[in-house]
Structures are given as C-alpha cells and as structure tokens.
Amino acid sequence: MNYSIETRHLNLWYGNFQALIDVSVNIKDRLITGLIGPSGCGKTTLLRTFNRINERYGNVTTKGEIKIFGKNIYDNDVSLPELRKSVGMVFQRPNPLPISVYENIVLGMKLHQQRSSLKKSGLDEVVEQSLREVFLWDDLKDHLKKKATSLQLEQQQKLCIARLLPLKPRVILMDEPCSALDVEGTRAVEDMMLSLRERYTIIIVTHNMAQARRVSDECIFMLLGEIIEHNDTDDLFLNPRNPKTADYIEGRYG
Amino acid sequence: MESITFTETPFVRKKKRTEALAKLIFFLMALSMIIPLVMIIAYLVVQAWPILSIDFLLENPANRMRAGGVWAPLLGTIYLVVISLLVSAPIGVLAAVYLNEYATDNWFTRIINLAVVNLAGVPSIVHALFGLGAFVLFAGIGRSILAASLTLAIMTLPVIIASTKEALASVPMPFRTACWNVGATRWQTIRTIVLPNSISGILTGIILQVSRAAGETAPIMFTGAVFFKALKDDGLFAYNLLDQCMALSMHLFTISTQVPDVPHALPYGTAVVLMAIVLLTNGLSIAFRVYLRSRKRW
Ligand SMILES: Nc1ncnc2c1ncn2[C@@H]1O[C@H](COP(=O)(O)OP(=O)(O)OP(=O)(O)O)[C@@H](O)[C@H]1O
Ligand SMILES: [Mg+2]
C-alpha cells in the first residue's frame, strides 16, 4: 500500500504540556482522510507537524518520526521551504493576503523561483489552471486584479487552496476549512475537495461529523492527544471499535 | 393580559442625564487640547509678525544676535535632525524587525525589550551627559555636529524601536502564516507582507522623532551646539561634520535669556520657525500616510 504520511511514536510538547502522545499513523495517498475529535485534542497540532510549521509557534519539542513519501522530514538535509511547498495547509479562517487575486496565486512561485525564470504568459497559465482546479476561474477570470480580501469568504477559502497548487503539492492539509462558511460555501468547498481527491493526499480536520462522513474515505478519531481509532469512514461511524469513539460520534462529548 | 408601556423609569432618566454629562465633559477635554495649541500658535505669530519674511529665514544672525535672521541655526537644526535620523532610523527599524519577527521569547530578548522601554523614558539631559562622555570625550570626536547628532540618535532610537515594533505587531498573524505555508523564509515573509503592511506606521513613528530631535536643547548643548557660529558661506553645505553648529532650540534660549536688548519680535520669530518645522514634519507624516494608504492596493 502506498502511504503518503507515516508517523512513528510521535510525541509533541508545548513547553511541559504534552499535546501529542505516541501517535503512529499511516495516511494513504490520493484519499481524503478525516480527522475528528473534541476541541483541544491536538488535531491542529498533528496537522502542523506534517509541514513542521509548528516550530514557528514558540516552545515546541517534537520526538518521533514522520515520513512523507518515505522521507523522514526531520532528517538534516530536509529544507523547510521545500517541505512546505509539498505539504500545503489551509486554515479555518481564510487567510488570503491583502494583494490581488493574481498576486496571491503566483506568490508561491515568486518565492521559490528566480524572478527572471518567471514569464508573464507562464504565470497567466498557472493562475488560470489553479483557479480552474478550485472552480473559481469562471467567477474570477474578470476580477484577477481585485483585492483578494474583498472576495466572499467561500471564494477566499478556495483561493487559499488555489494558492497552494502552483507549488505542485503532494499533500494538502485542511484545518476546519468550512467552519467559517455558510451551507452553500461548505458544499462548494466539499465538491472541490472531492475533485482534488484523485491528485493529492488530503487531510481534513472537522468538527462536523456529517461532513467527515460526506467527504472522507478514512477517518481518524483523536482524544487528548492520542489516536483512538483509525478506520474506513463508514466502519468508524457505523461499527466503532472503541467505546470512546462511539461516545464521541453519538455526541456524548465536545 | 398585562400590557407593557416601555416608558422611562426615574432610574433610566438619571442614567441618561449622567450619560449626557459624561459626553459633555469628554468633549470639553478634547476641545481643551486644541485651544492651547491654537492660542500658542496665534500668540507666537502675532508677536513675531513684524519680522516674519523669507529674509528672516535666509539671513544669518547679525549685530551680536540682535538683528538678522535664523539661517545658521536653522541649517544647524536640519543637519542635526537629518544626521541623527540617518543613524537611528535604520538601526531602530532593523532592531525592531529582529525583536518582533525573529526573536523567540527568552531572557535575552526580554532584557532587550526591557532596555528599550526604559531607555525611552530616560530624560534628555541624561542622554546629554551620556553623549558628552561617550562621543565627545571617550570617542574623542569633540564637540561637533557629529557628536550632537549621535547623542540625538541615542535619544530617539528606543522610541523608534518601540513604535516600529508596534507597527509590525499590528500586521495580522494570518498574513505571516499564509506566507510560511507556501514555504516563505522569514525574510521573504517580512519583505513581501510584513513591511508593506506596516510601512506607514513605521514612517509615522520615525517622523514624529524629527520634531523631538529638532526641539530638544539639552542633548546638543553639551555635545555640539554653540551660541554663535559664523558660517563660511551661504550654501547648504556650510557646516562641516566636525564643526560645532548653531541650532534653533538653543538659539531661542540664547536670545530670550542671554542677550540684552534683543528686539521683541526676534525670539518670537525664531519660535515660529521652530514650531513651523515641527508642524510641517507632522503634517508631512500625515500626508505621507494617506498617500501610502491610498497606494496599498497592490
Ligand atoms: N502554541 C501553543 N502553545 C501552547 N499550547 C498550545 C499551542 N497550540 C495548542 N496548544 C494546546 O495544545 C492542545 C491541542 O491544541 P490543538 O489546537 O491542536 O487542538 P485542536 O484539536 O485543533 O482543537 P480545536 O478543535 O479547538 O481547533 C490544546 O490543549 C491547546 O491548548
Ligand atoms: Mg484546531
């Protein structure tokens, strides 16, 4: 089986507080993996270890192993910008930069390539292709100069995903990507995720159990920094193996 | 069914009166900020009126400072302010960028931050003594424009660091995470997002220090400003860095207290020029801010 992310005995501390406890998990390529669990159980923390962005948040200690497509990302020869290129992340609040739609999308390429190697026509093409992949092209093709922060929230969130695509990521991490969106927006983003599914490894954190069932192929349930259960989504929801999982999906906590 | 009337109770009426009174008091306080400023300016301008002219700006003090204009002190003040900011602005901004964007929270950065806050509160006369000891005597620069400018730079530096840090901190964190997550290094993040979104605040902080540097007398009195200095020509480069110089703030002090029989309008004219510099730079900073804000669409 083809695993895109494998962790072994991953432990993480914020100062003295242990936020991840002995997490060993295999995440499959080209599937959507849902990550559920009550508030504060470490979902965001786990996502952020996958592109090592955690290290930007103060006093963090990480122990254990994380392999992404077979490569241990804590090896010394791993370049963080390159890692983050391959493992992109989307947040709860859409965070487009206060620049134009166009500039938002080409930003990543501008950061990673010599200015001289970027041709206007090439960039235009990348922008169109990225916007098409997230179903935004028809809406925005005449508004590429518009400030990204003035778009609707749903469009902003899709743009934040589109912004990752020019970097040719292999993994896309989504941290509650729909929780700021209304029903329509959520639907649209979910449709988009399903269409991206064949090309990327997608991990989505969600508080919305119905959403986890709708979009994810496999599902992981976390509690207090530990992984309680990891299974096919249908199995996890219909025949939970662990009583704690059952309690959670039946709404008995958080 | 019992009906409701929604009429005022006495208690509500009392609250409303208090509210109106509070609003009036706050308004009067705000107004009282403007009145002194307007009165000071009006008073100065009226008193200085007979002497105000372009010539007053461009002539040197003459007849033992009882006649002529303010060119030499004006030029001296410009030198001091420009040179001190050329030193303190880059150092201050870079230090603030380090403290806000790179430094992790440890004892070392906490000490630096503490130092910045405390230095910003040190009285200018103490800076003056420090400048005298460090630049004039220890470094052997002697009393000069350079030593005085460096002293002013030391004085303005902590405030520039503090204001720049504040401007940087006002850039929302999600902008930074957005950059990091497409693999930007810290410096790329600073350049593409943090600085463009904080530059107007940074510049305002710096420009406010112009008026402070121009107005202070104490730090330059010991370190490079003199009562009188004859300029070697009329050009803009009439001072040498190692010369001593005249300065407006000091000149004002001299002609108001040290020289007998000065024409009444002369000190007031000098004060008007000093005020004009301060107001002009503050005005400039506002205009610049508006301009940057209007341009920030990129
Ligand atoms: N930067 C940090 N410093 C210290 N503690 C943190 C930090 N970030 C998270 N934590 C703590 O780690 C634990 C896990 O947090 P995390 O944000 O990963 O939870 P989560 O499952 O994403 O919760 P939510 O559903 O509310 O987003 C929480 O107890 C939180 O308080
Ligand atoms: Mg979270």
> What is the rounded CA–CA span in Å between residue B25 and residue B96?
39
**What's the pLDDT score for residue A120?**
85
Range of the domain at A79: 3-94+170-249
| Torsions phi, psi for B20 (to 5 deg) | -65, -40
> Does the ipTM exceed 0.90?
no
- A157 falls within a domain: no
Per DSSP bridges, beta strands A201-205 and A226-232 are: unpaired
Question: Token digits for A35?
Answer: 């990550």
Q: How far is A234 from chain B (nearest CA, A)?
A: 32
- B265 falls within a domain: yes
Structural domains counted in chain A: 1
**What's the pLDDT score for residue B296?**
60
Per DSSP bridges, beta strands A32-36 and A201-205 are: parallel
Whether B123 and B203 have beta carbons less than 8 Å apart is answered as no
Nearest to B209 by CA among B124, B297, B142, B294: B124
Among the partner-chain residues B105, B180, B182, the one whose CB lies closest to the CB of A56 is B180
Give B-chain residues touching A53 at CB under 8 angstroms.
177, 180-181
- B281 falls within a domain: yes
Q: How far is CA B254 from CA A129, B59, B132, B213, B260, in A?
A: 72, 18, 21, 18, 10
Whether A94 and B172 have beta carbons less than 8 Å apart is answered as no
CA B65 distance to own-chain centroid: 28
DSSP A181-222: S-HHHHHHHHHHHHHHTTTSEEEEE-S-HHHHHHH-SEEEEE
Q: How far is CA B229 from CA A121, B226, B245, in A?
A: 64, 7, 6
A88, burial (CB in 10 Å: exposed 0-12, middle 13-18, buried 19+): buried
- pLDDT, chain B, mean: 89
- B17 falls within a domain: no
Q: What is the CA radius of gyration of chain B?
A: 25
Per DSSP bridges, beta strands B61-62 and A3-14 are: unpaired
Range of the domain at B285: 65-295
Q: How far is CA B283 from CA A27, A43, B30, B276, B288, in A?
A: 60, 51, 20, 10, 9
A161, A165, A169, A171 alpha-carbon torsion, rounded to 10°: 30
Q: What is the mean pLDDT of residues B148-155?
A: 94
pLDDT band of A55, cuts 50, 70, 90: confident
Q: What is the mean pLDDT of residues B12-25?
A: 93
Nearest to B182 by CA among A173, A154, A155: A173
Ligand nearest to the CA of A36: 1
The pTM score is 0.83
Q: Which residue of B has its CA nearest to A102?
A: B298
- A133 falls within a domain: no
Question: Do residue A108 and residue B182 have CB atoms under 8 angstroms apart?
Answer: yes
- B23 falls within a domain: no
H or E element in which residue A46 lies:
helix A43-50
Among the partner-chain residues A93, A100, A163, the one whose CB lies closest to the CB of B182 is A163
- A74 falls within a domain: yes
Range with the lowest mean pLDDT among A4-13, A94-103, B57-66? B57-66
For B227-275, the pLDDT digits (tens) are 888 777 777 887 888 888 888 999 999 888 888 888 888 899 999 999 9
- B59 falls within a domain: no
- B189 falls within a domain: yes
| Sign of the torsion formed by the C-alpha atoms of B219, B220, B221 and B223 | positive
Structural domains counted in chain B: 1
> What is the rounded CA–CA span in Å between residue A21 and residue A223?
10
- B190 falls within a domain: yes
Which residues, judged by CB distance below 6 Å to any ligand atom, belong to the binding site of ligand 1? A 14, 17, 19, 37, 39-45, 57-58
pLDDT tops 80 at residue A2: no
Neighbours of ion ligand 2 (CB under 5 A): A 44
H or E element in which residue A172 lies:
strand A171-175
- Asked if B294 has any chain A CB less than 8 Å from its own CB, the reply is no
Could you tell me which residues are beta bridge partners of residue A222? A227
For A178-224, the pLDDT digits (tens) are 988 888 889 988 998 999 988 999 999 998 889 999 999 999 999 99
| Interval between CA A57 and ligand 2 midpoint (Å) | 14
DSSP chain B: ------PPPHHHHHHHHHHHHHHHHHHHHHHHHHHHHHHHHHHHHHHHGGG-SHHHHHSPEETTTTEE-SHHHHHHHHHHHHHHHHHHHHHHHHHHHIIIII--SSHHHHHHHHHHHHHHTS-HHHHHHHHIIIIIIIS---SSHHHHHHHHHHHHHHHHHHHHHHHHHTS-HHHHHHHHTTT--HHHHIIIIIHHHHHHHHHHHHHHHHHHHHH--HHHHTTTB-S----SSSSTT-S-TTS-B--HHHHHHHHHHTSTT--THHHHHHHHHHHHHHHHHHHHHHHHHHHHHHHTT-
**What's the pLDDT score for residue A54?**
87
Amino acid at A117: S
Among the partner-chain residues B183, B296, B298, the one whose CB lies closest to the CB of A111 is B183
- A62 falls within a domain: yes
pLDDT band of B298, cuts 50, 70, 90: very low
Range with the lowest mean pLDDT among A147-151, B92-96, B104-108? B104-108
Q: How far is B298 from chain A (nearest CA, A)?
A: 6
SS3 sequence of B98-155: HHHHHCCCCHHHHHHHHHHHHHHCCCHHHHHHHHHHHHHHHCCCCCCHHHHHHHHHHH
- Asked if A118 has any chain B CB less than 8 Å from its own CB, the reply is no
| Torsions phi, psi for B166 (to 5 deg) | -65, -45
DSSP A224-246: TTEEEEEEEHHHHHHS-SSHHHH
> What is the rounded CA–CA span in Å between residue B147 and residue B225?
10
- The CATH number that applies at residue A64 is 3.40.50.300
- The CATH number that applies at residue B103 is 1.10.3720.10
Q: What is the mean pLDDT of residues B147-153?
A: 94
pLDDT tops 50 at residue B297: no
For B132-146, the pLDDT digits (tens) are 999 999 988 888 999
